[in-house]
Amino acid sequence: MAMKNGFKRAGVLAVGALLLGVSACSQGSTTKQPDASGGQSSGPANIKIAYQQWGPGTVMKTFLTGAKAEYEAANPGSKVEIVPVVASENDYYTKIQLMMRSPNTAPDLVYEDTFLINSDITAGYLRPLDDYIKDWSDWSQFQETAKGAAKGQDGKVYGVPDGTDTRALWYNKQIFAKAGLPADWQPKTWDDVLTAARAIKSKVPGVIPLNVYSGKPMGEASAMQGLEMLLYGTKDTLYNFNQNKWVVGSQGFKDSLGFVKTIFTEGLAPQPKQSLDPNWGNKVGSDLLPNSKLAIALDGSWLYNNWQKTGAKPWPQWTEVLGQTAMPTQTGEGKGKVSLSGGWTWAIPAKSKSPDAAWSFIKTLQTQKNATKYATDGAQIAVRKDVASDAGYKSSAKSTQFFTDLVAVTVYRPALPEYPKVSNEIITAMEAVMTGQSSPDDAAKNYDQAVESIVGKDKTTTQSQ
């Protein structure tokens, strides 16, 4: 779920409290024990699992607690320690990377965002899983795109995906009615989106017309579901895969920054100080949308997870109050709509002391029953064929089919080692524009120079395709 927020580098001391030492293998028999999916683990072992917890985090916490009980029952003597890392998304990235540097602090299993896989491989943090996967029949159930997202540039597999996501526009039908806008809203261009936002500002005062994540505190949420949702709706892209080069001098990049400037200077977006709140993403789902303080949100498929019975803000009426519509391309070009997809995987750190036991736990997490439960409860777009065809999953939420259909037009970030640094420059450019410190043209120029510095001028091109 990209989701999902903030990019502040945490100091080592701040992480110290999280670095709970990995216990050595527990004493006792080293005979093979059956794991929860019918395979064999390497005997009793203590394993530590690190994952990001945002907001109450009840869905993942409940899911992992259930899997822990199942695993420990099937592997007598083994203990599973669940370590929630309470942090914004990019703070989480920093903290788990610090944890993975040493065998004394490395977890045995880590929740890894797919876009970080190659950079973490380059840093030596992750263990390839091919020797495990070759004997795992369930791997054939995973969609090829999901498998690809978990692969390194070396062709090896470094994670087992547990779901993906797509992005679109969520809108409040009640606010739209007050503004004289249609309940079945289907914008065809960026101008259509701006026109609706302007109507809301004029006719429904006190409501934020449009939220597009922007600025450094929201981190990857700003880069991916902010600027990149705009950029990939132009004729340009971030990376030219035919030339294996990063794109600079992009008019689409400038136009995307221009859209950001428009919504902030016209008061169609939140105040910059609101958007720069590290908790802004949580507020959108748990306060602004359910309390009708926000009319349109460019956000992810997982958002309704906030409104389930176990969510941060139970809100059964969301299915009637909110509509979903695709984000249009700039002028209706191409397929007419755009989405971006991310996703998370379960990965085993290179310095795990109990990789075999960690793999057995992954198989527990990814039985068909457990995978279906998490995709349903966690508002995920399924990456397994057997889950995607499950009747309970397909009917689990009113928006499930809509967001699943967007996979046909979705784009994936260039999951290359340089991407995290490039992403940070995207966020820097956005923040400079939204706060009025720079024009879109100047911010784009600074971005181009930064990218050339990161990847080398010979690894850049002015051609998007």
What CATH number did the domain enclosing 104 receive? 3.40.190.10
Pick the last residue of a domain from 396, 413, 441. Answer: 396
pLDDT given at position 377: 87
- Judge whether 219 lies within some domain: yes
- 221 lies in the same domain as 132: no
- 232 lies in the same domain as 334: yes
Nearest Cα neighbor of 387 from 99, 217, 146, 193 is 146
- 171 lies in the same domain as 277: yes
36, 363 contact by CB (below 8 A): yes
The three-state secondary structure class of 218 is helix
Residue 210 in tokens: 């449009």
Alpha helices in 211-342 (DSSP H): 220-222, 229-231, 251-265, 272-275, 280-283, 318-321
- Judge whether 389 lies within some domain: yes
Residue with token string 């009637």: 320
- 392 lies in the same domain as 356: yes
- 284 lies in the same domain as 155: no
- Judge whether 241 lies within some domain: yes
- Judge whether 119 lies within some domain: yes
Q: What whole-number distance in Å separates Cα of residue 268 and Cα of residue 114? A: 32
Pick the last residue of a domain from 299, 319, 341. Answer: 341
- 325 lies in the same domain as 244: yes
pLDDT given at position 34: 37
- 353 lies in the same domain as 241: no
Q: Which residues pair with 344 in a beta bridge?
A: 113, 163
- 310 lies in the same domain as 323: yes
pLDDT given at position 370: 97
The whole model's pTM is what? 0.82
272, 211 contact by CB (below 8 A): no
pLDDT given at position 311: 82
Residue 319 in tokens: 């299915």
Length of the chain: 465
- 76 lies in the same domain as 191: no
- pLDDT digit string (tens) for the chain, length 465 residues: 444 433 333 333 333 333 333 333 332 333 333 343 334 444 678 999 999 987 666 789 999 999 999 999 999 999 999 999 988 777 888 999 999 999 999 999 999 999 899 999 999 999 999 999 999 999 999 988 889 889 998 999 999 999 899 999 999 999 999 999 999 999 999 999 999 999 999 999 999 999 999 999 999 999 999 999 999 999 999 999 999 999 999 999 999 999 999 999 999 999 999 999 988 999 999 999 999 999 999 999 999 988 988 788 999 999 999 999 999 999 999 999 999 998 899 999 999 999 999 999 999 999 999 999 999 988 889 999 999 999 999 888 889 989 988 988 999 899 899 999 999 999 999 999 999 999 999 999 999 999 999 999 999 999 998
- Judge whether 133 lies within some domain: yes
- Judge whether 263 lies within some domain: yes
Q: What whole-number distance in Å separates Cα of residue 414 and Cα of residue 336? A: 22
256, 460 contact by CB (below 8 A): no
- 105 lies in the same domain as 253: no
Burial of 135 (0-12, 13-18, 19+ CB in 10 A): exposed
Pick the last residue of a domain from 396, 426, 441. Answer: 396
Would you tell me how many other CB atoms lie within 10 Å of the CB of residue 7? 25
- 37 lies in the same domain as 160: yes
- Judge whether 430 lies within some domain: no
- Judge whether 47 lies within some domain: yes
Number of domains present in the structure of the chain: 2
The three-state secondary structure class of 316 is coil
What residue numbers bound the domain in which 129 lies? 12-164+343-396
- 86 lies in the same domain as 174: no
